[in-house]
Amino acid sequence: MSLRQFAVAVILALSPLADAANLEQPATDPVPGTDTVHGCYKSLGVLVLEQTIDFNSQGACTTLCRNKTNLVAATNAKDCYCGDKYPNKADLVDDSECTEPCPGFGTQACGGLDTYTVYNTGERVSVGEAPAASSSTSSASKTSTTSSNTPASTSDPTETVTASSEPEKGSGTNVAGIAAGVVVGVVAITAFGGAAFFWLRRKRNAEIEEEHRRNAAVNAFISGGGKPPSSSGGLSMTDSRLDPVMNRRMSDGSIADNQDYSRRILRVTNA
C-alpha cells in the first residue's frame, strides 16, 4: 500500500463520516508498481476466484494477484479474484454499492451485496476490459429461444421410428430369403438323392441281369454237352429236343414214320 493510500485510510478511519456508505474509495488513475482502486462493479467479467483470505484487504488481494503477474484484482468480503482484464464498463455501478468492510482492514470496502471492488495491481497501466455480459447473455437467450422453437423433438422421434422400422423390414426380407434358400436347397438335395438312388438301382438291376445271363450261358453250355450257345440269337432257355418240328426233320432223314417196320427188310449191298 502506498503512503498516500495509507494516509487516506487513516483519515477515513478517524473521520466520523467513515461509515458503510463511503467505504469505497474513488477510482484513481493506475500507477506502475502500486495498486489503485478502479471502481465498484456488479460483475467480475473474466476474473476468477484465486483464494479466500480470512484477513482480506486491498493490499492482501492485490499483492497475491501481483505475485502471479495478474493485471487486475477484485475483492468481495474474504474472496480474492485475479485476472488480466477489467470487467466491462457497462457493469460499473456507484461506489455506494460497495459497502462490505474488508475483514483485514475495516475502513476499506471489499465489494458489497453482489458487487466487487476492482483494483489495478500496478503491473501495467494500460489494461483492457472484458466483453459486455449483456451481449453474451442475449446471444445465449437467443440461442435458447431458437433451440426451444425448433421442432427438434418432433423430428427426432420420427427419425427414430423410421430408423427402427427399416431394420425390421430388412430383417423380414432376410428371413424370407433365407427360408427360400433353405427350401430350394432341400429340394435340390432331395432331387439329387432321388436321381442317384434310381441310377444306382438301375445299375444294380443291369448287373443282376448280366450276371443272370452269364449263369444261363454257363448252364446251357454244361447241359448242351459243351456246345456254346449261338451268340447271334442270344441265350435260349428252351430245349430243342422238345420242338416237334425239329423232331420231324430229324426223323425224315432216318426212319419213315409212315412205313411198317415190324417186318424185316433185306438190303443188297456191294461187298
What pLDDT, in 10s, does the model give residues 4-26?
Answer: 555 545 544 544 444 556 789 99
Residue 183 lies in a domain: yes
| 50 and 132 housed in the same domain | yes
| 102 and 180 housed in the same domain | no
- Predicted local distance difference test score (pLDDT) of residue 199: 87
| 216 and 113 housed in the same domain | no
- Predicted local distance difference test score (pLDDT) of residue 161: 44
pTM higher than 0.85, yes or no?
no
| 34 and 102 housed in the same domain | yes
- CA distance between the termini of the chain: 187
| 93 and 188 housed in the same domain | no
Residue 254 lies in a domain: no
| 140 and 197 housed in the same domain | no
- Predicted local distance difference test score (pLDDT) of residue 187: 87
- Predicted local distance difference test score (pLDDT) of residue 60: 96
| 9 and 139 housed in the same domain | yes
Residue 206 lies in a domain: yes
Among candidates 93, 131, 130, which has minimal Cα distance to 112? Answer: 93
Residue 247 lies in a domain: no
Contacts of 63 (CB under 8 A, 6+ apart): 35
| 134 and 180 housed in the same domain | no
- Residue range of the domain that includes 191: 172-229
- Amino acid at residue number 114: D
Residue 260 lies in a domain: no
| 179 and 220 housed in the same domain | yes
Residue-wise DSSP of 63-112:
HHHHHTT-SEEEEETTEEEEESSBPPGGGEE-GGG--PEETTEEEEE--B
| 22 and 137 housed in the same domain | yes
Residue 246 lies in a domain: no
pLDDT under 50: residue ranges of the chain: 8, 11-12, 14-18, 136-148, 150-167, 231-235
| 56 and 130 housed in the same domain | yes
- Counting the structural domains of the chain, the total is 2
What pLDDT, in 10s, does the model give residues 77-91?
Answer: 999 999 999 999 999
Strand partners of residue 262: none
| 58 and 180 housed in the same domain | no
Residue 242 lies in a domain: no
- Predicted local distance difference test score (pLDDT) of residue 163: 45
Residue 235 lies in a domain: no
